[in-house]
Chain A
Amino acid sequence: LSRLLAGLTRDGPVDLDRHLAAHGVLPELGEGLIAEVERSGLRGRGGAAFPAAVKLNVVAAGDGPVVVVNGVEGEPMSAKDRSLLTRTPHLVLDGAIAAADAVGARSVTIAAPEYTHPAVAGALRQRPEVRRRRERVRVTLTASASGYVAGEETAVLAHLEGRPAKPRVVPPLPAQSGFRRRPTLVQNVETLAHMALIARHGAGWFRERGTDERPGTMLVTISGAVRSPGVYETAPGVDAAELVARAGGQVEPIRALLVGGYFGAWVVPGADLEFDEAALRPHGASLGAGVVVALGVSSCPVAETARLAAYMAASTAGQCGPCVNGLGALAGVVERYAGGRVVAGDPENLKRWIDMVRGRGACRHPDGVARMLASAVRVFAKEFDEHGRRGPCRACARPTILSLPTQRSRRAAA
């Protein structure tokens, strides 16, 4: 199943000739693209699954709109956006240009980590028309900030305006008032790549894959206890077992899957768990940005959750009291569970604080952490209890499956 990933070379970016051979020429639909995207049912692939056509319509209705390509990808376990930018940059550019034409924007700004720039700049050089000042649509490339919340769309805009990459309270939505108060279409890299294909093949073709609720293919980043971790193209509705098989199969029996990334939920895969919105909902999970981490039986879920909670608490933008204090307090409790140093009040506070931080921030950071912790407490109730009473288990000492960028590496990347 290759739509987005069609025509990929073994390594390095797909050049313009190869891109055109794989996908054909981008038709000029102009604002006609909006209706096509509406029929396709495409939703944003950055994690929030916001209907793409709604954003397009709001931005198109405003004065002097601009387009921002969000390639920041702050989620450490996700690699799909950087893969698209470095391996098939022309598809992303096609999508961005088509979207700009659709909403009547003359400027496209790509916000992406610096290490993706050689591939994207190379693709731009092959299309000199998009860098010229007097051209219909002008594309510029800028280095994004790093850190978990830096990819949140208002944080991306803050960084582009020269301020710290921190989220702000919405409304107003960026689609109404975004970059320098202009109507701004902030769209994830993968979403735009899908638009490039919808412009070519139409909504009907797009819907041939996926489910009614989540049409189209999607990129999934699989890591953890699988033989070949990486980015794979699949469609919502796929079996969890099939997904693991795509990644080369499991290296040991799988205890649980972290679905949706650090923002997601721990799910114990049943025999026939479908990787789909409706099937994941009862588990408190969603497809999110397509991140799946497989936790093998030799890893300790309590230790992993403790590291995760500490990282997420440290990743707060530091703006909202309930997030700063609540996530810190929650990380402390989980840390004490992992170390077998639970104190009076911890079990009650863990549940109470999970509820207390929900919906209390300018962005959804505290909500995401609450969701992850609620699933951990539910799925690993026995393990939490045992750690609380007996202290670290043998698996606790094993190296972590989750990659947690350190302060130093994050600063180096910034």
Chain B
Amino acid sequence: VSDRRRVPRYQRPLASRERPRAPVAELVVDPVACAGHGLCAELFPERIVLDDWGYPIVDSSIPPSLAEHAERAVKACPALALRLRPPR
């Protein structure tokens, strides 16, 4: 650990520079609006899988590294049923 401290910050690998942080956003689906198109699961398989009937099961906590993917899924939803909101 003491050795690592001497390595300049910009030379450290990207992952270790990122301190463990609280999720930046919460991904939620409006179950009434959702019509089961399934695009979200296709675009964002890291956090969304489809159930046996084609409706999304969402893991809501979105870390900074996945924020961009989450936003893409939100924008692609034809039913406007997917939403990103600040974590509670």
Contacts and interface: CB of A to CB of B under 8 A. Distances in A.
B55 to A, nearest CB: 4
Contact of B32 (A325, A326, A356, A362): A362
Secondary structure of the B contact surface, majority rule:
loop
Interface stretch (A266-274, A315-323, A368-376, A402-410): A315-323
Contact of A356 (B30, B36, B52): B52
A325 B51 CA distance: 10
A356 B55 CA distance: 11
Contacts of A362: 30-32
B32 A169 contact: yes
Contacts of B34: 320-321
Contact of B31 (A322, A329, A349): A322
A168 interface: yes
A353 interface: yes
A322 B53 contact: yes
B27 to A, nearest CB: 15
Contacts of B53: 321-322, 325-326, 329
A84 to B, nearest CB: 32
Contacts of A89: none
Interface residues of A, number: 16
A319 B51 contact: no
Contacts of A325: 52-53, 55
A362 B34 CA distance: 11
A169 B53 CA distance: 21
Contacts of B87: none
Nearest to B36: A321
B87 to A, nearest CB: 15
Contacts of A361: 31
Question: Secondary structure at chain A's binding surface: helix, strand, loop or mixed?
Answer: helix
A319 B55 contact: no
A353 B52 contact: yes
Contacts of A322: 31, 51, 53, 55
Nearest to A320: B31
Interface string B48-88: 00011111010000000000000000000000000000000
A328 to B, nearest CB: 9
A106 interface: no
Contacts of B55: 321-322, 325, 360
Contact of A329 (B30, B32, B52, B54): B52
Contacts of A319: 31-32
Nearest to A168: B32
Nearest to A319: B32
A349 B32 CA distance: 24
Interface in A158-200: 168-169
Interface in A310-348: 319-323, 325-326, 329
Contact of B30 (A169, A326, A349): A169
Contacts of A169: 30-32
Contacts of B52: 325, 329, 349, 353, 356
Interface in B22-59: 30-32, 34-36, 51-55, 57
Contacts of A360: 31, 51, 55, 57
B76 to A, nearest CB: 18
B30 A321 contact: no
A329 B52 CA distance: 10
A254 to B, nearest CB: 36
A362 B33 CA distance: 10
B45 to A, nearest CB: 18
A337 B51 CA distance: 23
Contacts of A349: 52
Contacts of A329: 52-53
A361 B54 CA distance: 15
Contacts of B30: 169, 362
16 contacts: A169-B31, A319-B32, A320-B32, A320-B34, A321-B31, A321-B35, A321-B53, A322-B31, A325-B53, A326-B53, A329-B53, A349-B52, A353-B52, A356-B52, A360-B31, A360-B51
Interface of A: 168-169, 319-323, 325-326, 329, 349, 353, 356, 360-362
Interface of B: 30-32, 34-36, 51-55, 57
Given A329-B52, A360-B55, 4 more contacts: A320-B31, A321-B55, A349-B52, A356-B52
Ordered nearest first, which 4 A-B pairs have the shortest CB separation? A325-B53, A320-B31, A321-B55, A319-B32
